[in-house]
Structure 1
């Protein structure tokens, strides 16, 4: 009989533990004083050269630092602290314990990614973390779990004691439908805890040199019962930017100490700047803004995202807004597309800090929103909003560059409905609660857009990058690592009411790492890249070229439909070329749909199961699978079962094994 979810997750955990043998050398060397270990998405930077965002900070994983705490992980099972950590490992500290990082370069600022417990009844706690440099200079960070710890089924609860939000949904932990079960199943509480991590930034007050030691210590008294440190980013932040010839918000009554609401002062500065054709300048400070700032034909610049912070409370509305919102909060919004949208908006050099602690899908509590054509967004730091940037078209020619978006309840960036000719490039994204980067062609197709050279780490739910329908779009040179549940690194999906794929879709030069989650509803492992024909066939010209799929938890490539529509929709005209697959827990390709794909120069190694798992659409005809693979040559390598694309598998041999044993591959290495 097929394994239960519990057995499958246990097998995955065991496989992940086996993987730790291959990873302990780096951490041991660091703890022995071999020097700082700098990574990118917990990988050797040489493995991802030229891919992902070029950032001005150095990432150091806590498991590679000196510590008297306890290493946790690796573990890829959802609802665990290691699974949501970068690289699937972290360090657990109890009061009095520390982790110490050696700076790899000059730095005057750090970012700490951490987790502390929730309050017993939900809502979070705060706790101190002492920061010392070279045993001397001391600061105290105040950590919080007020923006962490969600529970239960979508759209989740802040209450660890909540009963099922949807009693009629499948509960795969017991393979049952609760409302059809007598008596109702007993679920452990808290049920499905998730979204454990948050991060804090700290300016150190002076410049430190490479080789200096930054120690994070949980105080012996007053600290949390435990503190998990995932990583430390260190960087050298330049001085504040000054704009002399500009409409300075201070001149219009803005409060840089955050004691009173400055939204009105921002409105006045924007109106003045529009009349005088000036920029709006927001100097260093923390400004309280508790609603949307409407922007059109204006440039707003800050002193830099470390210095200019625009922070707001989430405010309940007396009556729901026409769009269904029941809250408002800090955000910079273009005008609604129905009202013509906004143009010539340029935002740069400041931070947006929201106060969103629960997911309400109708709420417009995003960092940046509305419709903005012929506009740019550059150098922002956005956290604790629902979605970092959500755009409702029609709109065109928006460029989103060099931003950091972290700790979101939902997406980081979403091009929704009729966004055309727009680019999101060189953005760094970590800890989203839904798709990190999405193009969603609901009702009106997105067209001619590009997601390029972005880094996505640890999306807690759904995918790193998702494309739902659209025409002539490109996903290129991105780095995506560690998706946790119900998604993967890259998804191409006909779902959520999206318009059909048309023209060309290019997926080129991306690297994924430790991707492919366990799909609880289907009880199978997903691919690092997966194509999903749920509402329409996928038959556009799709080229998947030059991608590297590293350390795949299950399959590298998956093409699937849903059982109820398996005879209605197909996936065709997909072409894989110049691909490297370094390690799969199961197969290179898993096909659970009718259709076809071509493969050329797809090289694989450390493949854990048969190279192709070809179930087709589960008709199992005597003529072979309903899905055909075409070998265009140069497909080499494999694993313990032989060549990954063996002649006997072509074109459509049925090799259907839904849940093969997971074989943890070794850590990725140079090709």
Structure 2
């Protein structure tokens, strides 16, 4: 017997519970739990090498997100291909790879991994070439697991390969976007240089990698071999495999008593546009105060779904996928957008924002291939008060989650953000008492996690136990102004260009830092990039005074900075404002620094910092590079260091309190791999 529900467009038949259960059963057939009789058996391979952020997991224990997958780097696997790297230079395939190494396959070659645990799903991080004129290509990758049948993943470079200067282009043959900007390549301003410099094209190629997920249809035992083969005849001249994540995905969640989006005309095959059906379902679920359920399927949604006072739950991010195309608008929107696309948005803060929104258990797959900063083409956006986001997978949008306040009390948990054109998450303008925790962010095109206090200060926010890998541009975690902020127990690895693992910056028009900042218990790995504007290396943690001084109470406690490309700790002000700003009241305690290419501390500003129980080893240059404000007076540097005791391996007495040791570009000494302390 069927009952009817009334949506915004009138009565619609309800979906019978039997149909819901049948759809979930079909999805569940793709997943067989570990320990069941249906476990597939295949030949065992060599012992697997499991890593986290490309390191022995013991070195980063207790840091970052607890995830449902096991990471294996391709360079540790058996292959007929070629290992590339290590290389930390921008614009290289190895430089953007996790761990700064990967495996390059020519057609006919393979790389194979041994499953360390039972698995029924895979994520492959890869790169293939761009089309000659840009825009990307597609190419097959053959996947076999144990004795199972071969499957084919269709790889794409349509969401990769950006070029040129900010905000970048998809055209590899484009001329300089800003010929009036100074560039490192010629140490000049091209438009003001005679004769004009020759600029190699493509100019600054980057953002090479993408990832793809695959349900295997059954559960395979630990010890079975996953082989990834670039087939003979593939359109890709080469295929680079960076890593494999193997998952044991739970069966799909079924909510038979919830409001079902299928009852309002949503198409789970993805062939028909379902945005209007989603709107009707959201309106009805809100009216009757019940959860809206998105059963397994792929739903085509090509615009924003506005949410307020509603709970939306999918069957799990591997089963429920909300996918859309980027759509050009006939006329620009009031906010400046020239495109729209799939996304779940709260109401604008100016209109009161949204409250009591709860989103969980689905994926958002966007179609964003170029960076247009005015476009609102983010997976989750708007203002969400007293709300939660849990267990989402956000892919191929501009920003995974961008929130424009004022707003308060948002909790983001257990969410994966991958392959974004810009940020992973940004708390922007007056976001308070909000957090993201136990989430995994990989391959963003700008700051992976940011708090930006533009116009109105953020306050009382927390980034806790998150893992950030391979932000292609800018920082892993960035704080731009605000009050009483916490960054704790995160794991940040492999920033690529013009950024650090952690940045504290008075820039981008942000409000001042006030109250306290607590940066505690984080681990950074292979951090500190080369800044093309300053032509120097950055620190794993980077304090930057530009718009104003930084003088809040900043406590950095219990961090570990591992395998630093240049400095571990950097404090800097820009040259034009070096005599107007300073950085003071920064306190470092219980810090471990394992390997620096140059110094432990680089100070290029006026100010002060204290150090207690900061231990360092494998230091590539003098322990402190102290330039102060570059006046080099007989009184010493304008930056002072206070030794509070227990500092081993770097802070010699002759460096105190403010000895000038300025050498911005010493030879870089690559440190040995990190090891147990």
Distance across 2 between alignment mates of 1:347 and 1:481: 28
* RMSD value, Cα: 0.8
Q: Counterpart of 1:396?
A: 408
Alignment of 1:4-19 (within 5 A): none
1:180 is displaced (CA, Å) by 1.1
Q: TM-score, normalised by structure 1?
A: 0.94
Pick from 658, 664, 671: which aligns with 1:665? 671
Q: Counterpart of 2:512?
A: 500
Distance across 2 between alignment mates of 1:659 and 1:621: 21
Cα offsets for 1:589-620 (capped at 9, x unmatched): 00000000000000000000000000001011
2:152 aligned with 1:140? yes
The answer on whether the counterparts of 1:133 and 1:214 sit within 8 Å (CA) in structure 2 is yes
Pick from 138, 141, 161: which aligns with 1:149? 161
1:183 is displaced (CA, Å) by 1.7
Distance across 1 between alignment mates of 2:510 and 2:287: 41
Distance across 2 between alignment mates of 1:274 and 1:176: 59
Distance across 1 between alignment mates of 2:536 and 2:46: 41
User: Which piece of structure 1 moves more, 132-141 or 576-585?
Assistant: 132-141
Pick from 474, 485, 488: which aligns with 1:462? 474
Distance across 2 between alignment mates of 1:330 and 1:246: 23
Note closer, same or farther for the CA distance 1:125–1:357 as it changes in structure 2 (3 Å cut).
same
Q: Counterpart of 2:583?
A: 571
The answer on whether the counterparts of 2:46 and 2:114 sit within 8 Å (CA) in structure 1 is no
Distance across 1 between alignment mates of 2:573 and 2:333: 37
Pick from 138, 159, 163: which aligns with 2:171? 159
Q: Counterpart of 1:562?
A: 574
Distance across 2 between alignment mates of 1:474 and 1:238: 33
Pick from 402, 422, 429: which aligns with 2:441? 429
Pick from 421, 429, 434: which aligns with 1:417? 429
- List structure 1 runs of 4+ shifted beyond 6 angstroms: none
2:631 aligned with 1:619? yes
Distance across 1 between alignment mates of 2:664 and 2:586: 22
Pick from 344, 360, 363: which aligns with 1:332? 344
1:152 is displaced (CA, Å) by 0.1
Alignment of 1:351-390 (within 5 A): 351-390=363-402
Distance across 2 between alignment mates of 1:153 and 1:617: 30
Q: TM-score, normalised by structure 2?
A: 0.93
2:250 aligned with 1:233? no
The answer on whether the counterparts of 2:179 and 2:190 sit within 8 Å (CA) in structure 1 is yes
Cα offsets for 1:145-200 (capped at 9, x unmatched): 00000000000000000000001001111111111101211110000000000000
- Describe the SS at the equivalent of 2:75: helix
Distance across 2 between alignment mates of 1:552 and 1:34: 32
Cα offsets for 1:388-412 (capped at 9, x unmatched): 0000000000000000000000000
Alignment of 1:78-477 (within 5 A): 78-477=90-489
Distance across 1 between alignment mates of 2:377 and 2:394: 12
Distance across 2 between alignment mates of 1:524 and 1:64: 32
Alignment of 1:522-601 (within 5 A): 522-601=534-613
Cα offsets for 1:278-309 (capped at 9, x unmatched): 11000000000000000000000000000000
Distance across 1 between alignment mates of 2:515 and 2:507: 18
Distance across 2 between alignment mates of 1:190 and 1:445: 40
Distance across 2 between alignment mates of 1:157 and 1:471: 36
Distance across 2 between alignment mates of 1:58 and 1:212: 14
1:54 is displaced (CA, Å) by 0.2
| Structure 1 unaligned residues grouped into runs of 5+ | 1-31, 638-643
Cα offsets for 1:485-535 (capped at 9, x unmatched): 010100000000000000000000000000000011101000000000000
The answer on whether the counterparts of 2:562 and 2:593 sit within 8 Å (CA) in structure 1 is yes
Distance across 2 between alignment mates of 1:176 and 1:324: 33
Cα offsets for 1:189-243 (capped at 9, x unmatched): 0000000000000000110000000000011113411000000000111111001
Q: Counterpart of 1:43?
A: 55
1:103 is displaced (CA, Å) by 0.2
Q: Counterpart of 1:481?
A: 493
Alignment of 1:505-524 (within 5 A): 505-524=517-536
- Describe the SS at the equivalent of 1:382: strand
Distance across 2 between alignment mates of 1:136 and 1:386: 37
Cα offsets for 1:107-129 (capped at 9, x unmatched): 00000000000000000000000
Distance across 1 between alignment mates of 2:192 and 2:377: 37
Distance across 2 between alignment mates of 1:348 and 1:362: 27
Cα offsets for 1:617-671 (capped at 9, x unmatched): 101111000000000000002xxxxxx1010000000000010000000000000
Distance across 2 between alignment mates of 1:75 and 1:281: 46
The answer on whether the counterparts of 2:45 and 2:224 sit within 8 Å (CA) in structure 1 is no
Distance across 2 between alignment mates of 1:222 and 1:155: 32
Distance across 1 between alignment mates of 2:422 and 2:286: 33
Pick from 657, 660, 672: which aligns with 1:654? 660
The answer on whether the counterparts of 1:129 and 1:223 sit within 8 Å (CA) in structure 2 is no
Distance across 1 between alignment mates of 2:510 and 2:67: 33
Paired positions, count = 634
The answer on whether the counterparts of 2:517 and 2:554 sit within 8 Å (CA) in structure 1 is yes
The answer on whether the counterparts of 2:497 and 2:529 sit within 8 Å (CA) in structure 1 is yes
